[in-house]
Amino acid sequence: MSGTKDLHQIVYISTATTAVGREEAIAQQMHFAENNKRRAITGILLYRAGNFMQVIEGDKTVVRELYTKIEADPRHQDVVQLLDEPIVERAFPNWSMGMEDLDSEETRAKPGWNAFLTTPLTAREFFGKPGKVKRLLDCFKHDNDT
Ligand SMILES: Cc1cc2nc3c(=O)[nH]c(=O)nc-3n(C[C@H](O)[C@H](O)[C@H](O)COP(=O)(O)O)c2cc1C
Protein backbone atom coordinates (compact mmCIF):
# COMPACT_ATOMS: atom_id res chain seq x y z
CA MET A 1 0.00 0.00 0.00
CA SER A 2 1.60 3.29 -1.04
CA GLY A 3 0.75 6.91 -1.67
CA THR A 4 0.35 7.98 1.96
CA LYS A 5 2.30 11.18 2.65
CA ASP A 6 2.18 11.52 6.39
CA LEU A 7 2.74 7.94 7.54
CA HIS A 8 2.12 7.35 11.23
CA GLN A 9 1.95 4.43 13.65
CA ILE A 10 0.12 4.02 16.97
CA VAL A 11 0.57 0.99 19.23
CA TYR A 12 -1.57 0.46 22.33
CA ILE A 13 -2.35 -2.25 24.82
CA SER A 14 -5.75 -2.94 26.43
CA THR A 15 -7.89 -5.43 28.31
CA ALA A 16 -11.04 -7.03 26.89
CA THR A 17 -14.12 -6.18 28.98
CA THR A 18 -15.97 -9.37 28.19
CA ALA A 19 -14.27 -12.70 27.74
CA VAL A 20 -13.50 -12.60 24.03
CA GLY A 21 -13.02 -16.09 22.69
CA ARG A 22 -10.66 -16.77 19.83
CA GLU A 23 -13.51 -17.19 17.34
CA GLU A 24 -15.23 -14.02 18.39
CA ALA A 25 -12.00 -12.10 18.19
CA ILE A 26 -11.40 -13.37 14.67
CA ALA A 27 -14.94 -12.54 13.52
CA GLN A 28 -14.54 -9.00 14.87
CA GLN A 29 -11.19 -8.66 13.20
CA MET A 30 -12.54 -9.58 9.77
CA HIS A 31 -14.94 -6.66 10.03
CA PHE A 32 -12.13 -4.33 11.15
CA ALA A 33 -10.03 -5.42 8.19
CA GLU A 34 -12.74 -4.29 5.74
CA ASN A 35 -12.96 -0.89 7.41
CA ASN A 36 -9.20 -0.60 7.46
CA LYS A 37 -8.84 -1.43 3.80
CA ARG A 38 -11.14 1.48 2.90
CA ARG A 39 -9.01 3.82 5.03
CA ALA A 40 -5.62 2.45 3.90
CA ILE A 41 -4.91 1.35 7.47
CA THR A 42 -2.63 -1.66 8.06
CA GLY A 43 -1.45 -3.36 11.24
CA ILE A 44 -1.74 -6.28 13.59
CA LEU A 45 -3.91 -7.23 16.55
CA LEU A 46 -2.28 -9.49 19.10
CA TYR A 47 -4.36 -11.32 21.68
CA ARG A 48 -3.32 -13.18 24.79
CA ALA A 49 -5.42 -14.21 27.78
CA GLY A 50 -7.90 -11.34 27.67
CA ASN A 51 -5.45 -8.63 26.63
CA PHE A 52 -4.83 -6.96 23.28
CA MET A 53 -1.88 -5.21 21.69
CA GLN A 54 -2.68 -3.47 18.42
CA VAL A 55 -0.62 -1.66 15.79
CA ILE A 56 -2.45 0.75 13.48
CA GLU A 57 -0.54 2.50 10.73
CA GLY A 58 -1.44 4.79 7.86
CA ASP A 59 -2.11 8.46 7.23
CA LYS A 60 -1.60 10.41 10.47
CA THR A 61 -5.05 12.00 10.56
CA VAL A 62 -6.80 8.73 9.70
CA VAL A 63 -4.78 6.77 12.30
CA ARG A 64 -5.48 9.34 15.03
CA GLU A 65 -9.23 9.34 14.21
CA LEU A 66 -9.38 5.56 14.33
CA TYR A 67 -7.44 5.46 17.60
CA THR A 68 -9.93 7.89 19.19
CA LYS A 69 -12.79 5.54 18.19
CA ILE A 70 -10.98 2.43 19.36
CA GLU A 71 -10.06 4.05 22.68
CA ALA A 72 -13.75 4.69 23.39
CA ASP A 73 -14.88 1.19 22.40
CA PRO A 74 -16.65 -0.48 25.36
CA ARG A 75 -15.37 -3.91 24.30
CA HIS A 76 -12.09 -3.14 26.03
CA GLN A 77 -10.73 -0.97 28.86
CA ASP A 78 -7.45 0.32 30.31
CA VAL A 79 -6.30 1.39 26.86
CA VAL A 80 -2.68 2.55 27.21
CA GLN A 81 -0.76 4.05 24.31
CA LEU A 82 2.73 2.59 23.88
CA LEU A 83 3.96 4.23 20.65
CA ASP A 84 2.68 7.23 18.66
CA GLU A 85 5.19 8.27 16.02
CA PRO A 86 5.88 9.00 12.38
CA ILE A 87 7.22 6.06 10.37
CA VAL A 88 9.15 5.85 7.11
CA GLU A 89 7.51 2.63 6.00
CA ARG A 90 4.73 0.38 7.20
CA ALA A 91 5.68 -2.54 9.46
CA PHE A 92 2.73 -4.63 8.18
CA PRO A 93 2.11 -3.39 4.61
CA ASN A 94 0.23 -6.51 3.54
CA TRP A 95 -2.18 -6.82 6.45
CA SER A 96 -5.36 -4.75 6.69
CA MET A 97 -5.32 -6.13 10.23
CA GLY A 98 -3.41 -9.31 10.96
CA MET A 99 -4.57 -11.25 14.00
CA GLU A 100 -2.36 -13.43 16.17
CA ASP A 101 -3.30 -15.47 19.19
CA LEU A 102 -0.05 -15.53 21.15
CA ASP A 103 -0.80 -18.92 22.63
CA SER A 104 -1.23 -20.64 19.28
CA GLU A 105 1.22 -23.23 17.98
CA GLU A 106 2.23 -21.05 14.99
CA THR A 107 3.29 -18.22 17.28
CA ARG A 108 5.44 -20.49 19.38
CA ALA A 109 7.56 -21.29 16.33
CA LYS A 110 8.51 -17.69 15.56
CA PRO A 111 12.14 -16.52 15.70
CA GLY A 112 12.76 -14.23 18.66
CA TRP A 113 9.68 -15.56 20.40
CA ASN A 114 11.48 -17.26 23.33
CA ALA A 115 11.75 -13.96 25.16
CA PHE A 116 7.96 -13.60 25.18
CA LEU A 117 6.82 -17.13 25.97
CA THR A 118 5.13 -16.13 29.20
CA THR A 119 4.97 -12.35 28.92
CA PRO A 120 1.43 -11.02 29.44
CA LEU A 121 0.18 -8.19 27.19
CA THR A 122 0.00 -5.65 29.99
CA ALA A 123 1.06 -2.04 30.43
CA ARG A 124 3.21 -3.14 33.33
CA GLU A 125 5.34 -5.20 30.91
CA PHE A 126 5.40 -2.76 27.98
CA PHE A 127 4.69 0.85 29.01
CA GLY A 128 7.76 3.06 28.61
CA LYS A 129 9.68 0.21 26.93
CA PRO A 130 9.54 0.97 23.20
CA GLY A 131 12.43 -1.40 22.49
CA LYS A 132 10.54 -4.31 24.06
CA VAL A 133 7.38 -3.40 22.13
CA LYS A 134 9.35 -3.39 18.88
CA ARG A 135 11.08 -6.69 19.66
CA LEU A 136 7.70 -8.34 20.19
CA LEU A 137 6.26 -6.86 16.99
CA ASP A 138 9.37 -7.90 15.04
CA CYS A 139 8.48 -11.54 15.74
CA PHE A 140 5.44 -11.06 13.46
CA LYS A 141 6.92 -8.83 10.79
CA HIS A 142 8.51 -11.50 8.64
CA ASP A 143 5.13 -13.27 8.30
CA ASN A 144 3.97 -10.25 6.45
CA ASP A 145 6.58 -10.54 3.70
CA THR A 146 5.22 -11.64 0.38
C1 LIG B 1 -9.42 -4.37 20.39
C2 LIG B 1 -10.15 -3.60 19.34
C3 LIG B 1 -9.53 -3.36 18.11
C4 LIG B 1 -10.18 -2.64 17.10
N5 LIG B 1 -9.56 -2.44 15.89
C6 LIG B 1 -10.19 -1.79 14.91
C7 LIG B 1 -9.58 -1.60 13.65
O8 LIG B 1 -8.45 -2.02 13.40
N9 LIG B 1 -10.29 -0.95 12.69
C10 LIG B 1 -11.56 -0.50 12.89
O11 LIG B 1 -12.15 0.09 11.98
N12 LIG B 1 -12.16 -0.66 14.08
C13 LIG B 1 -11.52 -1.29 15.09
N14 LIG B 1 -12.15 -1.46 16.30
C15 LIG B 1 -13.55 -1.02 16.43
C16 LIG B 1 -13.68 0.46 16.68
O17 LIG B 1 -13.59 0.69 18.07
C18 LIG B 1 -15.05 0.96 16.16
O19 LIG B 1 -16.07 0.18 16.69
C20 LIG B 1 -15.07 0.86 14.65
O21 LIG B 1 -14.06 1.66 14.11
C22 LIG B 1 -16.44 1.26 14.04
O23 LIG B 1 -16.60 2.63 14.11
P24 LIG B 1 -17.74 3.33 13.23
O25 LIG B 1 -19.05 2.71 13.66
O26 LIG B 1 -17.66 4.79 13.59
O27 LIG B 1 -17.40 3.07 11.80
C28 LIG B 1 -11.49 -2.15 17.34
C29 LIG B 1 -12.10 -2.39 18.56
C30 LIG B 1 -11.45 -3.10 19.56
C31 LIG B 1 -12.14 -3.35 20.87
pLDDT in tens, 87-137: 999 999 999 988 888 888 888 888 888 889 899 999 999 999 999 999 999
pTM: 0.91
Q: How far apart, in whole angstroms, are the C-alpha atoms of residue 90 and residue 88?
A: 7
Ligand 1 atom closest to residue 56's alpha carbon, by position in its atom list:
8
Q: For the chain, what's the residue count?
A: 146
What is the whole-number distance in angstroms between the Cα of residue 66 and the centre of ligand 1? 7
Q: Minimal CA–CA distance to 75: which of 100, 46, 48, 50?
A: 50
Q: Say if residue 50 is exposed, middle or buried (CB neighbours under 10 Å; 0-12, 13-18, 19+).
A: middle
Nearest-CA residue for ligand 1 atom 23 is 69
What is the whole-number distance in angstroms between the Cα of residue 70 and the centre of ligand 1? 5
Q: How far apart, in whole angstroms, are the C-alpha atoms of residue 55 and residue 63?
A: 10
Say if residue 54's pLDDT is above 70: yes
Domain ranges of the chain: 7-144
Highest mean pLDDT out of 60-64, 112-116, 136-140 = 60-64
Domain 7-144 has CATH 3.30.70.100: yes
